[in-house]
């Protein structure tokens, strides 16, 4: 129903840092977790503008879901969800509104979720947690 548009950054790049490698691994783990839960993945690493990127765009029944994936090796310094501060929420919301303005068929509902992945690429069983409705759309944005 809703198709993803834009430039997707797929595949491993030769200049990828260990941190980026871990982040991409976390996104793949989150995607696997969501698919097992019945989500349909519409897009990965959707970039719109120089600072706005949506890690995953998915469909959950009739809702369009914009997902931020946070990967950490451990929770020694707090939950990964805590890294989704107001500035990150603003950027994600701005990208989502831009995305919604570009698609033809508007979804009946949309939301912002966060997926936490705890582990490293060499671990066998990472912990994955899904926080639904992690934050609302900031009041400064209007949906088309």
Q: Rounded to the nearest 10 degrees, how much is the dihedral formed by the CA atoms of 42, 72, 84, 143?
A: 0
| Predicted local confidence at residue 51, as pLDDT | 84
Query: In angstroms, rounded to a whole number, what is the distance separating the alpha carbons of residues 58 and 46?
Result: 11
Tell me what pLDDT residue 20 has.
87
- pTM of this prediction? 0.86
Rounded Cα distance, 103 and 99, in Å:
7
Which residues of the chain register pLDDT less than 70? 1-14
Given CATH 3.30.565.10, say whether it is the number of domain 17-135: no
């Amino acid at each position: 129903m809703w198709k993803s548009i834009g430039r997707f950054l797929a595949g491993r790049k030769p200049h990828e840092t260990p941190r980026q490698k871990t982040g991409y691994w976390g996104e793949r783990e989150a995607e696997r977790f969501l698919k097992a839960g019945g989500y349909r993945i519409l897009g990965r690493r959707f970039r719109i503008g120089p600072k706005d990127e949506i890690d995953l765009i998915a469909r959950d029944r009739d809702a369009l879901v914009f997902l931020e994936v946070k990967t950490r090796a451990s929770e020694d310094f707090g939950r990964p969800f805590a890294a989704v501060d107001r500035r990150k929420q603003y950027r994600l919301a701005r990208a989502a509104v831009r995305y919604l303005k570009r698609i033809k068929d508007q979804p009946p509902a949309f939301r912002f979720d966060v997926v936490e992945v705890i582990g490293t690429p060499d671990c066998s069983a990472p912990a994955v947690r899904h926080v639904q409705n992690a934050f609302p759309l900031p009041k400064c944005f209007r949906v088309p």
